[in-house]
A = this chain, B = another copy of it.
Amino acid sequence: MRILHVVLVLGLVAVGDTRVRADEGMWTFHDFPAVKVKARYGFSPDQAWLDHARLSSARIAGICSASFVSANGLVMTNHHCAHDCVAGLSTKEHDYVKDGYWAKTLDDEKKCPDMEVHRLEEITDVTDKVLKATATKMGAAYTAALREISAAIEKPCQKDGAADHRCEVVNLYHGGQFMLYRYKRYTDVRVVGAPELAMAFFGGDPDNFEFPRYDLDLSFVRVYENGKPAATPEHFGWSAGGAKENELTFVSGDPHTTEREITNAVRVFDRDVVAPVVTNTRSEWRGQLAQFMRQNDEQKRIATEWQFYNENSLKAWKGRQAALGDDVMMKSVAQAEADLRARIAGKAELVRRVGDAFEALDKALAKWRPFYHRFYFLELWPKGDLLTDAVRLVRAADEKALPDGKRLDEYRDSALPDIEQKLASSAPIYPAREKLAVAFWLGKLREELGADDPTVKALLGKETPEQVAARWVDGSKLGDTAERVRLWKGGKAAIASSKDPMIVAVKLFDAAARKVRKMNDDEVEGIEKSAGEKIAKAKFVLDGRSSYPDATFTLRLSYGSVKGYTSTAHGTKVSPITYLGGAFDRANGAPPFELPKTWLDAKAAIDPKVPFDFATTNDIIGGNSGSPIFNQKLEIVGLIFDGNIESLAGDFWYDEASNRAVGVSSEAIIQALAKIYHADRIVEELRPAKGKKQ
């Protein structure tokens, strides 16, 4: 996926109710509450079990979760996590997204242009080192100090050379704990198999974030080393009978971001400033893409991937907006913060330690408010593939000239191999799609910054957004991989002498973008992090480490069980499991409720009573896509691909009554592989335990 992914990192401050409710929690592997699991479910994971689960888990760089499911590098994830790869392999003649793809032999496993798999191999506590370096710092100074010490810690960790490993200092509890995570990187990733999009996204956007579902959001890829399947002795087994109602289930994966422990000021900022601009802009972009896709089949093909991600993000944000629009809940979490502050006020030592952290954050956000739209459109909103690459090239040339610790986070030495891989990608560029994206961005920029803004004037001159977009896209050579690599390798000199219109364009707006980015980093995030650290430490003093940290797209483990619920949206009772037969009932022949021919043809061979999708109480969020659902024997019982609409409030709070994770059952996967796709090679490799009733 080459859309710029930006995680909103606003609001990471640890306060609020510390009581963990029932199955709530996205726990770290180094602080897993085995005692709580034992108390509720009678099973206590030991260290060997936790290590095995961790090493069998995987991350699709930048976007998703995954798992190792054989000793030969076989990785299971969602279809939508490999969608970019499958789309990139497609041509006008072969649309593998539409038709699916199943490699008959190892030789048929085609390389994904820019997919990367990570495994978390080592966790080291570096809290003391970091806190020593950041002590007494606030705002910009804190951000700078944190960047420097992080770079200094990461550098020696990259001991085997940057290309094979990735080291990251991870900020947990909003500055309360810092851990060094060392990942093994697999950069040779190949497609093994994926069903038709119609099956992987059956129900489409209308059914997204809903339950009951009938969806096979599945793909298999394989990691290679030295041109051969990588050896992955640590991997999950495969359950014979799947998971039954009320059975204990675990989910490992990399939830992207939660904001459960932010201050009230940040939540109000999210509700009043962030959610409106994100949902409105993504809605408008959705409308343009929808009509673009209606124009002809080719445009439909090339824009499907963007629309999928856009609609998914939009629906997730609408869910957040609905949660933030729950004034009763908002008042309740505001009250929890008031209670915390009262408890802090009761201890002189904590008053001294926390200082004006709350007030400083209030002030920082009030000052930031009029600049947020500027920040969003100059820095966060995706501008198409070419312009995104141009930004990477121009910024990297400047940033690489700086010491590692002084750079923007995404240009630190540890991140450069990722960028290089993206720039060297052979994924195709579609000019019509690029023009649409650039014209949209320019139009929004003029609208939001105003026609009199100097940057807007410099970019548009006497042309319309559409004219400028056409000129840039038609004139750019950045669609050529070799040219991108040349500019990357040529560094500052190559960028300075480039006349490519995309590079020239970035030079016109990058100063303005950097200025507002710096304001965000120094005056907002810097305050959030330094204030967050103080509040987090006060909370540790008051409550100990009884809770889990907010999600940070790093590996977490959640526990729960297969369970139905009562829908708050419709007031209906929802059963926890759907069955294969139900897909045939729900299908109406028209997209997005159209079963592919393979399914219709195989109908007689399929057991309609085999569980298809199911819901569990596991606490997950975006980024958990592709996560394995496994049992206490470390066997796969399912594959996470969604949460229900109620789970979107999970960004801010967890409610076991209605928050549900949604996955495909291990049994449905085997049925589909064996009976529909005839992928016997994969079934054999998964080796489900004997006694199964497939």
In this complex, how many residues of chain A approach chain B with their Cβ under 8 Å: the count is: 53
How far, in angstroms, from A590 to B569 measured CA to CA in the complex? Answer: 47
How far, in angstroms, from A451 to B588 measured CA to CA in the complex? Answer: 11
Whether, in the assembled complex, A692 has its beta carbon less than 8 Å from a beta carbon of chain B, the answer is: no
Q: Nearest Cβ in chain B — how far from A460, in angstroms?
A: 8
Contact of A461 among B281, B436, B466, B588 (CB under 8 A): B588
| A590 lies within 8 A of B463 (CB) | yes
| A321 lies within 8 A of B467 (CB) | no
Nearest to A210 among chain B residues (CB) is B450
Nearest to A292 among chain B residues (CB) is B291
Whether, in the assembled complex, A355 has its beta carbon less than 8 Å from a beta carbon of chain B, the answer is: no
| B467 lies within 8 A of A590 (CB) | yes
| A447 lies within 8 A of B590 (CB) | no
Binds B, one of A26-34, A200-208, A675-683: A200-208
Hey, which chain B residues are within 8 Å of A466, CB to CB?
Answer: 294
Hey, which chain B residues are within 8 Å of A370, CB to CB?
Answer: 569
A459-476 contact mask (Cβ, 8 Å, vs B): 1 or 0:
011111011000000000
A 279-297 contacts with B by CB, 8 A: 279-281, 283-292, 294-295
Whether, in the assembled complex, A446 has its beta carbon less than 8 Å from a beta carbon of chain B, the answer is: yes
Whether, in the assembled complex, A325 has its beta carbon less than 8 Å from a beta carbon of chain B, the answer is: yes
Contact of A283 among B287, B290, B326, B463 (CB under 8 A): B287
| B294 lies within 8 A of A325 (CB) | no
How far, in angstroms, from A450 to B325 measured CA to CA in the complex? Answer: 21
Nearest to A467 among chain B residues (CB) is B590
Contact of A464 among B272, B318, B591 (CB under 8 A): B591
How far, in angstroms, from A327 to B327 measured CA to CA in the complex? Answer: 13
Nearest to A446 among chain B residues (CB) is B206
How far, in angstroms, from A593 to B457 measured CA to CA in the complex? Answer: 12
Whether, in the assembled complex, A482 has its beta carbon less than 8 Å from a beta carbon of chain B, the answer is: no
Whether, in the assembled complex, A589 has its beta carbon less than 8 Å from a beta carbon of chain B, the answer is: yes
Hey, which chain B residues are within 8 Å of A324, CB to CB?
Answer: 272
A 393-451 contacts with B by CB, 8 A: 436, 446-447, 450-451
Q: Nearest Cβ in chain B — how far from A60, in angstroms?
A: 28
Q: How many copies does the complex hold?
A: 2
Q: Nearest Cβ in chain B — how far from A584, in angstroms?
A: 14
Whether, in the assembled complex, A273 has its beta carbon less than 8 Å from a beta carbon of chain B, the answer is: yes
| A447 lies within 8 A of B287 (CB) | no
Hey, which chain B residues are within 8 Å of A286, CB to CB?
Answer: 284, 287
How far, in angstroms, from A290 to B283 measured CA to CA in the complex? Answer: 13
Contact of A271 among B283, B284, B325, B467 (CB under 8 A): B325
| B287 lies within 8 A of A291 (CB) | yes
Contact of A287 among B268, B272, B284 (CB under 8 A): B284
Whether, in the assembled complex, A276 has its beta carbon less than 8 Å from a beta carbon of chain B, the answer is: yes
Whether, in the assembled complex, A570 has its beta carbon less than 8 Å from a beta carbon of chain B, the answer is: yes
How far, in angstroms, from A292 to B288 measured CA to CA in the complex? Answer: 8
Hey, which chain B residues are within 8 Å of A203, CB to CB?
Answer: 451
| B321 lies within 8 A of A276 (CB) | yes
How far, in angstroms, from A450 to B283 measured CA to CA in the complex? Answer: 18
Most buried by B among A287, A322, A436, A460: A287
Hey, which chain B residues are within 8 Å of A447, CB to CB?
Answer: 205-206
How far, in angstroms, from A460 to B591 measured CA to CA in the complex? Answer: 11
Q: Nearest Cβ in chain B — how far from A113, in angstroms?
A: 28
Nearest to A275 among chain B residues (CB) is B276
| B279 lies within 8 A of A276 (CB) | yes
Hey, which chain B residues are within 8 Å of A451, CB to CB?
Answer: 203, 206-207, 593
| A325 lies within 8 A of B461 (CB) | no
Contact of A589 among B273, B450, B462, B591 (CB under 8 A): B462
Hey, which chain B residues are within 8 Å of A207, CB to CB?
Answer: 451
Q: Nearest Cβ in chain B — how far from A318, in angstroms?
A: 7
Nearest to A466 among chain B residues (CB) is B294
Hey, which chain B residues are within 8 Å of A318, CB to CB?
Answer: 276, 280
Nearest to A588 among chain B residues (CB) is B462
Hey, which chain B residues are within 8 Å of A272, CB to CB?
Answer: 324-327
Binding site for B on A (CB under 8 A): 203, 205-207, 210, 268, 271-273, 275-276, 279-281, 283-292, 294-295, 318, 321-322, 324-327, 370, 436, 446-447, 450-451, 460-464, 466-467, 569-570, 588-591, 593
**What 3 A-B pairs come out closest when comparing CB atoms?**
A287-B287, A272-B325, A291-B291
Other CB < 8 Å A-B pairs besides A207-B451, A283-B283, A464-B591, 16 of them? A206-B446, A272-B324, A272-B326, A276-B318, A279-B279, A279-B280, A280-B318, A284-B284, A284-B287, A287-B290, A291-B291, A291-B292, A295-B295, A450-B570, A460-B588, A464-B590
28 example contacts (A-B, Cβ-Cβ < 8 A) are as follows A203-B451, A206-B446, A210-B450, A271-B325, A272-B325, A272-B326, A273-B325, A276-B279, A276-B321, A276-B322, A280-B283, A281-B283, A283-B283, A284-B284, A284-B286, A284-B287, A286-B287, A287-B287, A287-B288, A288-B290, A288-B291, A290-B291, A291-B291, A295-B295, A450-B570, A460-B590, A462-B588, A462-B589
